[in-house]
Amino acid sequence: MGDERRTADGAARPVVLDAMGGDHGPAETVAGALKARREHGVPVVLAGRAEEIDRELRRHGAVGRVDVLHADEVVPMTETGAGAAARPGTSLMAGCELARRAGAAFVSAGSTGAVVTAAVRTFGRREGVLRPALAVALPTPAGSTVLIDAGGTADPTAEMLAQFAVLGAMYARNVLGVPDPSVGLLSIGSEGGKGNRLTRDAGRLLPAMPVRFHGNVEGHDVLAGTVDVVVTDGFTGNVVLKNIEGCVRTTLGLVARAGIAEPGRLDEVGRLYTADTHGGAALLGLTGTVVVAHGSSASAAIARACRVASDLAAGQDVVSGHLAAGTVT
């Protein structure tokens, strides 16, 4: 995703940021918004409690440089879903509504369940989409692998999993530039028919989908580049994602302690798997562009999420377009 994804006059696509979302709130989101504008040229509107946002803007000497949409209420990080969409005065819902009206992208580091619920309620699903899914591009030795679903739907049906494969393949093709992406179904064995009932049922549907289905893949295949897209349910996908992040930190820490590699080089590898680099997960299948950042995101990760959202907004029709060809019957 590069600077070519701009509006007709060359400007970056605007982003509405939930300033109250995440573990750190305005202390990091405001700094991230300023960094997104300064380093990536992305214009950001901050949605949240104006007094708290202005206090952070003053701290950075940036009063008046970022537009602010005041919203009194905050969706707690413990919110899991439907309650988020029932309170229109929150920074999450107000931000989503503004992004929809303005044709802008939306970013939040708030509770994933709450963000997904609010985004579906506000933007709506694309025609033919059963349920949106979170996609994250993970670095591999050969490039990147898309993990989908990374936490959007914990208990999908087999039909939803099959459609996630289509969304993931579209993302790999149109965002990552993979001409003919291969798709693997995450399971406990590479042989067909292995796995739980959900995986077995999805495995029977996937050969008929408009994707190049590789078959089952296992946990060790996710970062090996075995396939371009790894499909799983949101519960498993989120566990896989956080396990990867933890394993990378632990492994690099052990290597550093052993003194067998330069610390600077280890840091370079570690950064490949941090939110500062991948910027969060794209929520695919909606009529608008939404990026869900990690709850613990610091300013660099927030800035990166805004850049990713801006780039995706410019190409969102090819990522989340009509899925008639991917409808499961």
pLDDT in tens, 168-222: 999 999 888 899 999 999 999 999 889 999 999 999 999 999 999 999 999 999 9
pLDDT at 277: 59
Domain tally, the chain? 2
Q: What is the mean pLDDT of the chain?
A: 86
Please tell me whether residues 278 and 162 are part of one structural domain. Answer: yes
Closest by CA position to 140, among listed 266, 228, 248, 225: 225
Model confidence, pTM? 0.85
Q: Among the residues of 60-190, which ranges form H helices? A: 91-102, 112-123, 158-174
| Confidence check: pLDDT of 322 > 90 | no
Closest by CA position to 136, among listed 312, 324, 314, 17: 312
Q: Assess if residue 328 is contained within a domain.
A: no
| Confidence check: pLDDT of 244 > 90 | no
| Confidence check: pLDDT of 257 > 90 | no
Q: Assess if residue 211 is contained within a domain.
A: yes
- What whole-number percentage of the chain has pLDDT above 70? 86
| Confidence check: pLDDT of 8 > 50 | no
CATH code (residue 295): 3.40.718.10
pLDDT at 270: 65
Please tell me whether residues 77 and 114 are part of one structural domain. Answer: yes
Q: DSSP letter string over 64-95? A: TSSEEEE--B---TT--SGGGGG-TTBHHHHH
pLDDT at 26: 94
Please tell me whether residues 81 and 159 are part of one structural domain. Answer: no
Query: CB under 8 Å to 133, separation ≥6 — which residues?
Result: 148, 149, 150, 152, 153, 160, 164, 167, 168, 234, 283, 284, 285
Q: Among the residues of the chain, which ranges form H helices? A: 26-40, 50-59, 91-102, 112-123, 158-174, 197-205, 234-258, 263-271, 275-278, 299-319
Q: What phi, psi does 85 have (nearest 5°)?
A: -80, -5
Q: What is the mean pLDDT of residues 230-251?
A: 90
- For residues 281 and 150, give the distance between their C-alpha atoms in angstroms, rounded to a whole number: 7
Give the residue, 114 or 2, on which the prediction is more confident.
114
Please tell me whether residues 97 and 200 are part of one structural domain. Answer: no
Please tell me whether residues 70 and 120 are part of one structural domain. Answer: yes
Amino acid, res. 270? G
Q: What is the mean pLDDT of residues 51-71?
A: 94
Q: Assess if residue 326 is contained within a domain.
A: no
| Confidence check: pLDDT of 267 > 80 | no
Q: What is the mean pLDDT of residues 303-322?
A: 73
Please tell me whether residues 1 and 136 are part of one structural domain. Answer: no
Token match 């067998």: residue?
260
Q: Assess if residue 329 is contained within a domain.
A: no
Residues forming beta bridges with residue 8, ordered by sequence position: none
Range of the domain at 230: 130-284
Closest by CA position to 270, among listed 295, 294, 253: 253
